[in-house]
Amino acid sequence: MKPTRLALAAGMSVLALGAAACSSSSETSTGGTTGGSGDESDLTIGFLYVGPKDDYGYNQAAYEGSQAVQAAFPNAKILQAENVPETAEAETVMEDMIEQGADIIFPTSYGHLEFAQNVAKDHPDTIFVHQGGLEGEDKLDNLGTYFGTVYEPVYTAGVAAGEATESNKLGYVYAFPIPQTLANINAFALGAQSVNPDAEVIAVSTGSWCDPGLQAQAAKSLIDQGADVLTQHQDCTKTIIEAAEAAGAMSVGYHFDASELAPNGWITGSEWNWGPLYTDIVQTVVDGKFVDSPYNGDFRVGLQTGDNPFVQSSYGSMVSAETQAKIDEIKQSFIDGGSPFAGPVLKQDGTIVWESGQQPTYEEVETM
């Protein structure tokens, strides 16, 4: 078997466009605390988003998950805070939610974790469930994290992109070189190269989860370098997809099905369906079973467990039935215990990462 090479490794230099200023946060509430039966009638749940709830991306997917919670617990009061930066302002927002009676708080951005931990220590009666981070050694009875194996559908989206590209150059716009991002870039590259060994991924950092101006610059830079497919690890996805569509390039989405933005160039994507997981977490808290539950730690699910909240998006017209069938076979291999990073896998310098017959654990991928 020909070894594959990782597109990026931690510390690798890539083009960076600079960071953007954070926008101010805003808070709203929905639902009520009267009527109903059981504990739900007194339930208040807070959700924090790092961006707007209508971004065709990460935050919109999380917001729609919160609406599923509202539907499952119609008498609960839902607090919503948009544009909450990954700074101490997040602590202020969470403290305000607690003053409003929050029983459960979902800080949904990667950089909210440290601030959630700080607030959780001072409020042991409030449950905090963070999206995407790793709790580390400082375990708390009232805090946990959750996420899905994002790199599995990103790999299969890479397969579709590798089949679709004509220039063999795939552009990737990302925010920060955190482990999740590196895993996704590598998974996308390996997926593309599995069907097209000539495929090359060009990665550009914006230094921001959501800055449309920098995203537009990044998209133009990649298209100018010959990329005919653009994908991303950004929270808001609209600008990049629209830029690709306007330039006649193709798009692979992330976080949310944005196919309506690219009627001509949409290949596929990967998206969150948070509703079932959010609802089960809330029910676990309502039942008084959060402490020592799987959610009171670093909870991760994937195709192998059968309940990955991160799933394949719809296919565009350029994705053939043969390619879709190939992707279905790959998904089944993951269900059976396989990995996008099954060896042999090499770093860019030729150093062996995983030998033939080896594959990493989820924890190893998250520290890539």
Tens digits of per-residue pLDDT, 223-265?
Answer: 999 999 999 999 999 999 999 999 999 999 999 999 999 999 9
DSSP 8-state symbol, 35: S
- The distance from CA 338 to its chain's CA centroid, rounded to whole angstroms, is 21
Residue with the bigger pLDDT between 86 and 347: it is: 86
Tokens of 108: 């949904």
**Which residue range(s) make up the domain with 174?**
4-18+151-268+316-335
Cα–Cα distance list, 315 to 238, 288, 302, 318 (Å): 18, 42, 21, 8
Query: Does residue 160 share a domain with residue 101?
Result: no
Of 119, 112, 107, 57, residue with least CA distance to 80: 107
At residue 132's C-alpha, the angle toward residues 130 and 135, to 5°, is 60
The CATH number given to whatever domain includes residue 109 is 3.40.50.2300
Q: State yes or no: pLDDT of 1 exceeds 90.
A: no
Query: Does residue 106 share a domain with residue 185?
Result: no
Rounded CA-CA distance 88/107 in Å is: 13
Asked whether residue 255 is domain-assigned, the answer is yes
**20-29, 141-150, 245-254, 294-303: least confident range:** 20-29
Query: Does residue 128 share a domain with residue 39?
Result: yes
Dihedral Cα 188, 305, 299, 365, nearest 10 deg:
-30
Rounded CA-CA distance 320/267 in Å is: 10
Asked whether residue 72 is domain-assigned, the answer is yes
Query: Does residue 223 share a domain with residue 192?
Result: yes
**9-13, 108-112, 283-287, 312-316: least confident range:** 9-13
Q: pLDDT class for 22, splitting at 50, 70, 90?
A: very low
Cα–Cα distance list, 339 to 4, 245, 302, 365 (Å): 13, 32, 11, 10
**24-33, 103-112, 174-183, 197-206: least confident range:** 24-33
pLDDT at 96: 99
Query: Does residue 213 share a domain with residue 194?
Result: yes
Query: Does residue 122 share a domain with residue 88?
Result: yes
Tokens 């617990």 belong to 73
Tokens of 131: 């999206």
Q: pLDDT class for 345, splitting at 50, 70, 90?
A: confident
Query: Does residue 186 share a domain with residue 120?
Result: no
Query: Does residue 135 share a domain with residue 87?
Result: yes
Tokens of 69: 């919670």
The type of residue at 69 is: V
Query: Does residue 128 share a domain with residue 185?
Result: no
User: 181, 132 in Cβ contact below 8 A?
Assistant: no
Asked whether residue 361 is domain-assigned, the answer is no
Asked whether residue 222 is domain-assigned, the answer is yes
Strand positions, DSSP E, the chain: 4-5, 15-16, 26-31, 44-48, 77-82, 104-107, 127-131, 143-148, 169-174, 200-205, 229-233, 250-255, 266-272, 298-301, 310-312, 345-346, 352-354
Rounded CA-CA distance 280/364 in Å is: 27
Tens-place pLDDT, residues 202-220: 999 999 999 999 999 999 9
Total structural domains in the chain? 2
User: 120, 128 in Cβ contact below 8 A?
Assistant: yes
For 258-292, letters b (16+ CB in 10 Å) and e give bbebbeebbbbbbbbbbbebbbbbbebbbeeebee
Tokens 């990026």 belong to 8
Asked whether residue 179 is domain-assigned, the answer is yes
Q: State yes or no: pLDDT of 5 exceeds 90.
A: no
Query: Does residue 178 share a domain with residue 132?
Result: no
Asked whether residue 347 is domain-assigned, the answer is no
What's the longest Cα–Cα distance across the chain? Answer: 64
Q: State yes or no: pLDDT of 14 exceeds 80.
A: no
Q: State yes or no: pLDDT of 28 exceeds 80.
A: no
Query: Does residue 253 share a domain with residue 240?
Result: yes
Asked whether residue 114 is domain-assigned, the answer is yes
Query: Does residue 238 share a domain with residue 216?
Result: yes
User: 5, 192 in Cβ contact below 8 A?
Assistant: no
Of 121, 190, 135, residue with least CA distance to 159: 190
Asked whether residue 158 is domain-assigned, the answer is yes
Output the average pLDDT for the chain.
Answer: 89
Dihedral Cα 121, 208, 189, 365, nearest 10 deg:
-10
**12-21, 174-183, 236-245, 330-339: least confident range:** 12-21
User: 193, 225 in Cβ contact below 8 A?
Assistant: no
